[in-house]
Amino acid sequence: MIPRPSGPGGRLIVALDVPEAARAEALAHEVAPHAGLVKLGLELFCAEGPGVLGRLAKAAPVFLDLKLHDIPNTVAGAVRSLAPLGTAMLTLHAGGGPAMIAAAREAAEKAGGTRPLLLAVTVLTSLDEGALEATGVSGGAAAQVVRLARMAVASGADGLVCSPHEIAAIRYALGEAPCLVVPGIRPAGAATGDQSRVATPEEAVRDGADWIVVGRPVSGAGNPGEAARAIAAALPR
């Protein structure tokens, strides 16, 4: 498994928010000197197939963000297929339940080699209180995140994906043991886009994030390498 980051630059994960492999590879090489990992998401994975993972891994370790969510047997099979590709991190939806997460952990353990960190996604950063109510979840995002976080870690997840707004609540409930990967990061002055629960990179790290995920403020910049460097340089030491 990939160790926790030892310095500010290692805390940054750059999301490759582009639909073509060639552009993603170029972007990965541009930001690699200033980032601990690059994130391969659903759009690019579906467009280019599993082979793109190995190509990106030549530039930097890859965080494969597919948010697996299905019956336990199906998710276990997906993990068995994905683990040998060399991803450093892999996401599951915590909403899949304890049996699904336990099956994913067992499959990762049996896959051999260096297994990926298994990260449970709690509540998507695009969801606000109204959206959660529409899905039948009452009590607010923070309560739901902590509820899912406790279950996921107890079932075998190595860590969690949560918004910046729930970092403190998770640390209070679960301590320092689970790794926290935090999207919804926007440098000061950047547009929030479709994210509802956001914070600056500095705020997220001070609150207890192990890694922060930054996408469009880097991938959409005129000089992505410089944008990544500036974010990494501003993170607390």
Strands 37-41, 62-68: pairing is parallel
Q: Residue 194 is which amino acid?
A: D
Burial code (b: 16+ CB inside 10 Å, e: under 16) for 157-173 equals bbbbbbbbbbbebbbee
Q: How far is CA 205 from CA 54, 109, 180, in A?
A: 29, 30, 10
Marked catalytic residue, from 39, 58, 67, 110: 67
What number of residues does the chain have? 237
Q: Bridge partners of 37?
A: 13
Closest to 91 (Cα-Cα) out of 107, 109, 104: 104
39 is catalytic: no
Active site residues: 67
